[in-house]
Amino acid sequence: MERCLQSVQGIVDEIIIVDTGSTDGTKEIARRYTNKVYDFQWINDFAAARNFALEYATSEYILQLDADEVLVDSKKELQQKFDKDFYYLRIKNDLGSGQYLSHQFIRLFRNSPDIRYQGALHEQVPSNFEIERYGYLSSVGIFHEGYKLHLVKSKQKLQRNLNILMKEIKERPTAFAYYNLGMQYIIEEKYHDALKALKKSYSYGSHYAFTPKVILDIMKCLQNIGQYQEAIKVGLDAVVLYEGVPDFWYQMGLVYTEWGLIKDAQACFEQCLEIGEENTARLVQHYDGTGSYLAQGKLAEIHLILDHHEQALQYILQAVKASPDTLALFDIFLSIYPSANKEELFHTISSIWPFSSQRYIELIGYLYHRRNPLLCEFLSYFEMEVVYPVSVFSEIVAGNYEQARSEILNNKKEASEQDPHFAHNLLFLSLATNDSSLLEEWGGDTPLSSKELKWFKKLLDNKIAEEISASKTFQAVWKQLVIDAIQLQKYEYIDLLINATNQSELRLLIAECLQSFGFDDLAIQVLVETNNRQLNYKIYLVAAKSLRTLGATDDALFYLEKAEQIKKDFSVMFEKWQIYHGIDKKAEREQLQIMHDSYPDSNWVNQALKEASF
């Protein structure tokens, strides 16, 4: 609230605040900036609350802001003389991690009794007016933090919003109401329900300013329910309707990536860069960076998958230059150097990322969240005081296990509540000190079950642990334990973990981690076949990829054939194609034909087959 009011102080003629029942001191803050603070009894209708505020406005124009928004007017356009009834402003919604959704909305309009808000939720002033009544203020913007997913979900108002929308649809069904219902279901991850609502919205009319966003969200829902082919069909229609806009190509790239058609995804992201960001103003809502740094980041990821590290590095450097605050790019950069020396990597980062205190604080927070030992290089360089819970991980990285243990014991009351890595720290320290007493004392405060804790204790006693039904939580903890050992170069712990279990599922997780850090020889040795066909499929793919990396192509093909006997999907076919490519033209062409027969929707396969036929 305070940042919002500070941003408009001295710019607007009057500030009007309507409070719908706050209990957190909001009105006290508001009265420091204006004496026009009014109470409105909440009736589950946002438009009614807005219109109540309009009744007190005396100025010629209305500028509407929410409490979690900040006004930006770099060229003082708001000081000019207005001659339109409605003005669109660009609103930049912070989604977290340096990613933004921008959209245009009427937030500045003439103070007239004929102009009032409509819509009980996601209210707006009517926008179906003559074009001559509209204006755009290009340098005036609004920065909004309230769309961060954790904030949206933490408001615990999902059911309230749903009730409002259902009531509104029952009384006055519109394309906009159904669009908002679809968005509500997406937040709740109810993608089938969201898809129905979004299709209903489109059926009410496809000429609205928000229609492109409806189409994008339809694609996302189809992707989330695994209907990749249908999502691509929608996307191909959309790029014809909205030519020169990167968002649809970007979304198709995401669909193709999840589908496994990696080269088709690459073509989509390259098309995004070809289009650029210039035409994004044509969309009412646009994901910033789809025509630049986000697409470059995705291309870096694809080239990593293809083992093209130089190309991956070039793309990520371009992306960072364009958007150094997007933390997702930092994650991709680190994956290019999985086993790099920490000091050298820190100096490399310092030379690439422009320094700013806020940016580096965010990088430090991100490194802690990711449990990356590089965190300590940042802490040391900036001589930052380390407190709990960061102090525990810092001591673990330094090899001061007893001090790390003391940090936990000295923070008994807050230990499990404040530290998101509490379970990971307990397990690693127990492993490093060969002492299960921490698990015995604190295990109940971890998300692990008593059976899972007993299994880990047996592991610490250097006994072969019996097979266990590995829950998602158990697998996540196990995987992090392996990653900790690799990143801290405690390879003796890797040996202990390998020797502690013959369970194929757990050994596969170890192998996947080893492979991601470039230890392909060891990854192959760890793998153990099982009676579970689906698990074997994953095991064969990991084995084949490491064997191909090591140059053992015949052995790689052997495991790919075994995988194909279980499931004949694109990832297996593509691995085989990569082996044949540039070595055996006949086998390559035959493989492309097989891929074409199974995946006729792949434009890349179709083009590659034509080229291979000449």
pLDDT band at 153, cuts 50/70/90? low
β-sheet bridge partners, residue 287: 101
> How far, in Å, CA of 294 to CA of 491, rounded?
36
How long, in residues, is the chain?
A: 614
Mean pLDDT over 163-181 rounds to 87
Give the E-state strand segments of 30-165 in sequence order. Answer: 37-39, 61-63, 69-73, 86-96, 99-110, 134-144
> How far, in Å, CA of 497 to CA of 501, rounded?
7
264-279 pLDDT per residue, tens: 999 999 999 999 988 7
361-392 pLDDT per residue, tens: 889 999 999 999 999 999 999 898 889 999 99
pLDDT band at 244, cuts 50/70/90? confident
Predicted confidence at residue 129, as pLDDT, reads 45
Angle, helices 262-275 vs 293-305, to 10°: value is: 150
Predicted confidence at residue 419, as pLDDT, reads 85
SS3 483: helix
Please name the residue ranges forming H helices in 337-374. 342-352, 357-369
Average predicted confidence (pLDDT) for the chain: 90
pTM, two decimal places: 0.86
pLDDT band at 74, cuts 50/70/90? confident
Query: Which domains, ranges and CATH numbers included, belong to the chain?
Result: 2-148 (3.90.550.10), 154-340 (1.25.40.10)
Mean pLDDT over 70-96 rounds to 86
8 Å CB contact between 181 and 152? no
SS3 147: coil
> How far, in Å, CA of 438 to CA of 184, rounded?
43
292 vs 411, residue with greater confidence:
292
In DSSP notation, 50-83 reads HHHHHTT--SSEEE---TTEEEEETT-GGGS---
Q: Is 219 exposed, middle or buried (0-12, 13-18, 19+ CB in 10 A)?
A: buried
pLDDT band at 100, cuts 50/70/90? confident
Mean pLDDT over 253-271 rounds to 97
Q: Which of 1-5, 207-211, 260-264 has the highest mean pLDDT?
A: 260-264
Q: Is the pLDDT of residue 132 over 70?
A: no
